[in-house]
Structure 1
Amino acid sequence: MLNIADTLYHWCREARPFALATVVQVSGSAPLPPGTALAVDTDGNAVGSVSGGCVEGAVYELCRQVLADGGPPARARFGYSDDDAFAVGLTCGGEIQVLVQRVDSVDQPHLAVALEEIRRGRPAAVAQVVNGPDDLLGRTLCVLGDGSAYEGTLSGPREDRAVAMQARALLRAGRTGLVEVGGDADTCPERLSLLVHTNAPRPRMLIFGAVDFAGALSRAGRFLGYRVTVCDARPVFATAARFPHADEVVVDWPHRYLAATQVDARTAVCVLTHDAKFDIPLLRMALSLPVGYVGAMGSRRTHDHRLGLLREAGVPETHLARLNSPIGLDLGARTPEETAVSITAEIIAHAHHGTGLPLAHGTGPIHEPMATRGALAGH
């Protein structure tokens, strides 16, 4: 639902009832991930999408029906039909399950609070019951960035605490995913499946080295949704005018800046300096941190020499195995812009465990199904 958070916030503030259709399960090559939503208000206005166009008409009519009837949430499954290629379904060959529910903000005032946080760019999570007893289906619980939860919205305090714990874990990781709670005496007797929609701060891309490649990479990183920082110890090169697409330009020694700044498992560290006095202390530190990606630019000869220096500096082999160098995928890139595409393609593949191979050379579904994230509370 976060894809339409701004509109939903205004509808909640206006106390305007609406039907919310949420993708709760995906298999095969479905076009949009779980959590994507379409909403329809009482005037027939629609916002969002659940399939990129394949089944929007059918979902729209189902939303209108749920709004008119005022009944319980409804489920619908859409997939490709070999028997009837013209039936309403996904032309891509995948399958989605959609939950359609009526939302009245007077019954869920906490939802407007969470949506306001999200539209302001602040971290928040909305846990939505997508499988369980009929009287709980579609109910929500919200967790804000400071860890506070709007409790009492599910079936009891124990259920709320269990869901809030899972939602906080997913919010810390910046992930939207399914969690399972209940089915035992310690949490609640009812087994619940919840889709936790999370809005976390933008992941960070730290680019070290104020070179021409950094300009193109900062632009590509910004396009992909990263909060981009360019850092270099040389003030004549590290200027905002040279890197207008970066969120911030820092003049500092790279390893000193990295030691002082905040990183997490989604952070991408890109070392473009080509200078051992910068690279070695920086990479030694970066490879010891819980960041998502570390890449360093240079030829294969430079890479081999760099590895030797890192070993001399005491960097263990387990850390060296995390280094992506030479940085980027083999796309035949030559220009800074092409190189930026090569680097960001590798970052995307690394984040999603992609192969980096042409899709035409593969078999099976293009999109892997989203795994259940129930174990993230201790992640």
Structure 2
Amino acid sequence: MVYAEHASDIISKGAALIAASRPFALITSLEIEGGAARNVGSLALVDEAGAMTGYLSNGCIDRDIQLHAQKSLHTKRKKLIRYGEGSRYADLKLPCGGALTVLIDPNPDTDAICAAAACFAKRQPVRLTFHSPDDSGEGLSRTFAYDPRHRLVLAGRGAIFRSMAQIGNATGYEVHLLSPDAADLSAVGHLSASPPLYLTTPNREYVFDILDAHSAFLTLFHDHDWEPHLLRSALTRPVRFIGCLGSHRTHDMRCETLRHMGVSDISLARLRGPIGLVPSLRDASSIAVSALAEIVATFQNADV
């Protein structure tokens, strides 16, 4: 079992199986009542060898879902299964309470899956519709929207830059890296989804096409001379989160520098600093976790 989380992981895996002419069952959580480990609309799949990509619970029912998916692949029939309260599977409990209704489809819409994979590759949102089997008696039909994977673009150097790249990657963000330090890029450049950019001068203007509404941009410098042109360029983009390392005094000076460069107060209001939910931290890994927590909260609030 591969505990992939993002819808794009499942969709890209499905598209790869379609290209290889390998059958699989697509699994979707159609309804949730009460507590649940995953959101409604979460996806998983099981291939003909029984391997599962994705998960619908925190391990309490995923093995059973996996077995039902294998049987569904054999019979070629959809299954709609309810777990938890009101389920006929009384021996399978949901510790978080409530109930979960899962659709298992051994013949998913391959055109829709391939089209969704192409949209994700273009950083476009995706909508997918799922229908319960005709003989289920439930008449469930649900459409869910899925955003592209969140992107984390980091410009900086030193221990915090490295920690942020490592923790962001481990959290599942699509990481992109810029640094004037060759040693830093050598240490964490393999985590970058695009070729790492070696910064040679603080006075260069950048066109940040990589930054979109599903992105966060951080400057992680102690030598803040590298920041102004990078931030001015980032502030022209629809990026969801822009934040900077440093003290409150440093942030005030940063904003004043950007004002002198022609950046409006409306744009500066988008700039967050100092980054992080926990103030006055002194070790790189804790600062990275604190900053990433603020980014997670920002994206979560935007999606509510």
TM-score strictly above 0.5: yes
Give the match for residue 208 of structure 1.
155
Q: 1:20 to 1:262 in 2, by over 3 A?
A: closer
Give the match for residue 239 of structure 2.
291
Give the match for residue 264 of structure 1.
212
Native 8 Å contact 1:3 1:37 kept in 2: no
2:44 matched to 1:37?
yes
CA distance in 1, matches of 2:191, 2:17: 34
Of residues 23, 28, 31, the one that matches 1:22 is: 28
5 Å-filtered alignment, 1:89-168, equals: 89-103=93-107, 110=111, 122-123=121-122, 128-131=128-131, 134=134
Residue 97 of structure 1 aligns to a residue whose secondary structure is strand
Residue 298 of structure 2 aligns to a residue whose secondary structure is helix
Q: 1:229 to 1:300 in 2, by over 3 A?
A: same
Give the match for residue 376 of structure 1.
none
CA distance in 1, matches of 2:8, 2:226: 40
Of residues 249, 269, 273, the one that matches 2:197 is: 249
2:197 matched to 1:222?
no
Unaligned residue ranges in structure 1 (runs of 5+): 136-190, 355-369, 372-379
Give percent identity, aligned residues only. 27
Deviation at 1:296, TM superposition (A): 1.1
5 Å-filtered alignment, 1:174-213, equals: 193-195=142-144, 200=148, 203-213=150-160
Residue 301 of structure 2 aligns to a residue whose secondary structure is coil
CA distance in 2, matches of 1:261, 1:12: 31
Which string of whole-angstrom CA distances, capped at 9 and with x for unpartnered residues, describes residues 336-373 of structure 1? Answer: 2222222222222222129xxxxxxxxxxxxxxx86xx
CA distance in 2, matches of 1:112, 1:313: 46
Deviation at 1:316, TM superposition (A): 3.2
CA distance in 2, matches of 1:70, 1:109: 15
Unaligned residue ranges in structure 2 (runs of 5+): 1-6
CA distance in 1, matches of 2:71, 2:151: 43
CA distance in 1, matches of 2:34, 2:74: 33
Q: 1:213 to 1:47 in 2, by over 3 A?
A: closer
2:276 matched to 1:328?
yes
Give the match for residue 3 of structure 2.
none
Q: 1:80 to 1:272 in 2, by over 3 A?
A: same
5 Å-filtered alignment, 1:51-70, equals: 51-60=57-66, 62-63=68-69, 66-67=72-73, 69-70=75-76
TM-score by length of 1: 0.59
TM-score by length of 2: 0.72
Of residues 255, 275, 296, the one that matches 1:307 is: 255
2:296 matched to 1:351?
no
CA distance in 1, matches of 2:205, 2:261: 19
Q: 1:327 to 1:27 in 2, by over 3 A?
A: farther
Deviation at 1:315, TM superposition (A): 3.4
CA distance in 1, matches of 2:102, 2:46: 12
Deviation at 1:297, TM superposition (A): 1.3
Deviation at 1:98, TM superposition (A): 1.3
CA distance in 1, matches of 2:17, 2:224: 56
Q: 1:21 to 1:219 in 2, by over 3 A?
A: closer
The one-letter amino acid paired with 1:327 is I
The one-letter amino acid paired with 1:241 is S
Determine which structure has more spread, i.e. the larger CA radius of gyration.
1
The one-letter amino acid paired with 1:223 is A
CA distance in 2, matches of 1:94, 1:252: 56
Residue 100 of structure 1 aligns to a residue whose secondary structure is strand
Native 8 Å contact 1:293 1:347 kept in 2: yes
Q: 1:255 to 1:261 in 2, by over 3 A?
A: farther
Deviation at 1:53, TM superposition (A): 2.1
The one-letter amino acid paired with 2:100 is I
Native 8 Å contact 2:52 2:66 kept in 1: no
Native 8 Å contact 2:244 2:272 kept in 1: yes
Q: 1:2 to 1:90 in 2, by over 3 A?
A: farther
Which string of whole-angstrom CA distances, capped at 9 and with x for unpartnered residues, describes residues 85-122 of structure 1? Answer: x6424212354321122328xxx56478569979xx94
The one-letter amino acid paired with 2:211 is V
CA distance in 2, matches of 1:281, 1:6: 36
Deviation at 1:332, TM superposition (A): 5.3
